[in-house]
């Protein structure tokens, strides 16, 4: 199954979806995925003001399983656990999901990638909360339970560490350049990057206002880095969150042979047998 909705939409597209939902033509569920590694963003910021009707989903507990050395800091949750979280958020089988955050689109991108990997219509709101110019709500929205089924994670959307190491795919590191080079490593066991990976920091998918770049501009960026239609691309980051930003941007640019390495650098760097490269070159 594939999603009929583009991976990234602007505020005008969202308003069209909401108008259709108000007329009874469709069902749209807004999901707030504000999150920060240091805990400064989360359910408490959602309660300070969110899009009307939006339900909060917690990245650490609902979009990831507990951290494990062999799977990284944000492993994908078990399929049944993820389905339960979606039902709690009111997601039904035929609904369209639009997710947003208040930073750069990466937390929302994690959820949207997960949904799209399972064939569910979902998109990130480009610009996030700042793109919304209407009133905000402060209630903790608790919708009626949804009915999405349990679906296993599809292997063709996910790459393992061994598949990354095999070298058949172009590997993209979505982290900031200083972490790619190994100048700093604030959280994971070793500094550096996967040998052969090219660095395409996810933040460079955005314009100065925090909106995603147009498809053709993104396509030029990715083609310059060696992305091709006839070769698979695998994307990783620190723990499989910000890498989804690059994955969705690649899809926006028209590339379809793209997989996520969920364990990312947190898994790779924890395995002493895995080689590490440092410096600005792959």
Mind telling me the catalytic residues?
237
d(CA 224, CA 276): 24
Phi, psi of 259 (to 5 degrees): -125, 155
d(CA 223, CA 111): 26
List, as one string, the DSSP characters of 118-177. TT--EEEETTGGGG--S--B-S---PPP--PPP-PPPGGGB--HHHHHH--SEEEE-S-H
| Among 241, 247, 269, CA closest to 171 | 247
d(CA 274, CA 5): 38
**Three-class secondary structure assignment of 167-201:** CCCEEEECCCHHHHHCCCCCCCCCCCECCCCEECC
d(CA 146, CA 225): 41
Q: Each residue of 88-110: b (16+ CB within 10 Å) or e? A: ebbbeeebbbbbbbbbbbbbbbb
């Amino acid at each position: 199954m594939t999603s009929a909705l583009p991976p990234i939409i602007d505020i005008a597209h969202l308003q069209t979806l909401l108008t259709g939902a108000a007329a009874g033509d469709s069902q749209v569920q807004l999901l707030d995925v504000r999150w920060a590694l240091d805990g400064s963003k989360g359910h408490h910021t959602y309660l300070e003001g969110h899009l009307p009707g939006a339900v909060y989903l917690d990245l650490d507990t609902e979009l990831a399983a507990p951290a494990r050395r062999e799977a990284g800091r944000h492993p994908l949750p078990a399929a049944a656990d993820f389905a339960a979280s979606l039902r709690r958020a009111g997601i039904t089988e035929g609904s369209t999901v639009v997710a947003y955050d208040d930073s750069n689109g990466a937390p929302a991108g994690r959820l949207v990638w997960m949904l799209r990997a399972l064939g569910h219509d979902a998109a990130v709101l480009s610009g996030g909360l700042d793109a919304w110019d209407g009133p905000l709500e402060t209630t903790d929205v608790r919708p009626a339970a949804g009915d999405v089924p349990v679906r296993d994670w599809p292997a063709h959307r996910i790459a393992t560490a061994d598949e990354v190491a095999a070298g058949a795919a172009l590997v993209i590191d979505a982290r900031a350049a200083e972490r790619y080079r190994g100048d700093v490593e604030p959280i994971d066991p070793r500094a550096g990057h996967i040998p052969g990976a090219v660095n395409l920091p996810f933040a460079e998918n955005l314009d100065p206002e925090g909106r995603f770049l147009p498809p053709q501009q993104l396509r030029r960026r990715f083609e310059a880095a060696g992305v091709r239609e006839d070769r698979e691309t695998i994307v990783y980051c620190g723990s499989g969150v910000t890498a989804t930003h690059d994955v969705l941007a690649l899809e926006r640019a028209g590339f379809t042979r793209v997989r996520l390495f969920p364990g990312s650098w947190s898994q790779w760097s924890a395995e002493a047998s895995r080689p590490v490269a440092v410096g600005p070159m792959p």
